[in-house]
Chain A
Amino acid sequence: MSRAYAMNDWYAVADAQTLARGARRTMLLDQDVTVSGTPDAPKVIDDAGRTYPAQFKYGHVWTCLGDAPRSLFDIPEAAEQGRRLVPCGVVRVKCSPLRAVENFLDIAHFPFVHTGILGSEPHTEVAPYKAEIRDEVDEVWATKISFYQPQAAKSAQAGGDTDYQYRVAAPTSAVLYKTCPPKPEAMDVIAIFVQPRSETECDVWPWMALYDDTSDFAGLVQFQQEIFLQDRSILENQRPVKLPLDPKMEIPTRADLTSIAYRRWLKSKGAFYGALTEDA
């Protein structure tokens, strides 16, 4: 197990609603921690009483266990006027935190796992798109993705081609931008903040920043939860449990470009927590 790289990243460990109900005892990178306080003054401590840095951003408390924290990535859309910010609670998944992110980046499974919502047969083809590691920002991006979706969002009235962009801002945090049905000139933002409890278990905090003035809050949350829980049983059955980073271990297809870039990026950084590699 190599926690070295992971230690200096930030992780979501609670949302405002959790804090309001009292302290949350949880696990991060195999270590027990307790999250308490308020969004204005969040507090993260371990059982020995050591305090860790904590900040409240994008609806969640973020903490870092390492001595040299990197800066927490920016999601500029979070500050845009008119967006509804929707935290979707937390879901525990018995899988590698990296597999949770990789699944989030995958389009090809939509027609089979999210049938009738994010995809449908026979519209299964993934058209060519672009995936790249952007060295200047140290992120993975996938762009120029278009996919037919029966119901792209809660606000969608009918099926249609949806444009997507993916952004991996940190090894366990990813953001997707997709066509916003009621406001075609803008993009909806959906993120997952993955809290690695261990290398094989994680708590996933989905979060959205949407243009949607008509759906009720419960409807928005359930739309996202339904999609995410459709993935859960698949994720828990993926083998090997840890994400293989070495090219020899799995044979990707053209539709897996984002996954290939993501794995290559993790390997180049030495981000091995939750990964399977000969380098570790």
Chain B
Amino acid sequence: MSNFTLYNYVLSGNCYKIRLMAGLLGVTYDTVAVDFYPGLEQRSERMLALNPAGTLPVLVAGDLILSETQAMLAWLATTHDPSCTWYPIKDASLHAQVLQWLGFSARLTTSVGAARLNTMLDWPVDVEVVRAASRKDLDELELLLTDRVFAGQTWLVGDGPTIADIACFPYVALSPDAGFEHDGYPAIRNWLYAVRSLPGFVTMPGIHPLHELREDGANG
């Protein structure tokens, strides 16, 4: 059974957030391919009628139409995770921290995400501005994740993975596409590895699966 329809572009990190979250929650859905590049179909009349912002992805579930990935992640978690661990709305502090990271994930879209589109598809952006912002955001994340490691933690918020991790994961994992390698970011690398180890993890071009090293097929 399909739970929603995702208007999707296979190379988009923001579309991947939703595919990844759905994969981790085991939620089935349909996709409609939108020719984001080279066709710029997200700005066609048909797509603007669905999402006036002219961005992807767009999620449609019955009468509900969502065009912001943070809202989609929150909706997916609240409707499909009865334990409320992915989106811990019952704990005011954890909830607020998740929202804080969702804000950070939006910054990553405009920094690393934009730098990647430029490097890969020659997308017109202010190259110097987005590259400086990308470096700053990655440095900041490395510092915050290092603090988490010192606190004995793996994930961005609380004791387990939340939608905050999923929101921030794609553009950090894809930063080598824009020429920002992970070599100098040990804490980021640990965290990326943790996300890639989650059961139900799905890949996209530029994000590879972990190789199965153990005979029982588990990653590690």
Closest chain-B Cβ to A212's Cβ sits at a distance in Å of 14
Counting chain B CB atoms within 10 Å of each CB, the highest count among A18, A218, A236 belongs to: A218
Is B179's CB under 8 angstroms from A226's CB? no
Chain B contact residue count (CB 8 A cutoff): 21
Given contacts A216-B33, A226-B11, A15 and B176 within 8 Å (CB-CB): no
Interface residues in B169-217 (C-beta closer than 8 Å to A) = 176-177, 179, 205-206, 208-209
The interface stretch among B84-92, B116-124, B146-154, B157-165 is: B116-124
How far apart sit A221 and B36, CA to CA, in the bound complex (Å)?
10
Q: Is A2 an interface residue (CB 8 A)?
A: no
Q: A218-B39, A225-B11 given as contacts; is B120 within 8 A of A92 (CB)?
A: yes
B-contact bits for A164-189, CB 8 A (1 contact / 0 none)? 00000000000000000000000000
Give the docked Cα–Cα distance between A279 and B46 (Å): 57
The residue that A225 contacts in the complex, of B10, B34, B177, B208, with Cβ under 8 A, is B10
Q: Which among A4-12, A227-235, A247-255 touches the partner chain?
A: A227-235
Query: A157: which B residues are within 8 A, CB to CB?
Result: none
Query: Which residue of B35, B179, B205 is within 8 Å of A218 (Cβ)?
Result: B35
A219 at the interface (CB under 8 A from B): yes
Tell me whether B155 is interfacial, beta carbon within 8 Å. no
Q: For the complex, is B41 an interface residue (Cβ under 8 Å from A)?
A: yes
Interface of B is mostly: loop
A217 interface residue (CB < 8 Å to B): yes
Q: Which of A90, A216, A232 sits near B122, CB closer than 8 Å? A: A90
- Give residues of chain B (119-159) contacting chain A, Cβ–Cβ below 8 Å: 119-122
Residues of B near A17 (CB, < 8 A) are 38-39
Task: Using A89-B38, A222-B11, A225-B10 as known contacts, list a sample of 14 further A-B pairs with CB atoms less than 8 Å apart, ordered by residue number in A.
Answer: A15-B38, A90-B121, A92-B119, A92-B120, A94-B179, A115-B209, A217-B35, A217-B39, A218-B39, A222-B9, A222-B10, A226-B205, A229-B205, A233-B177
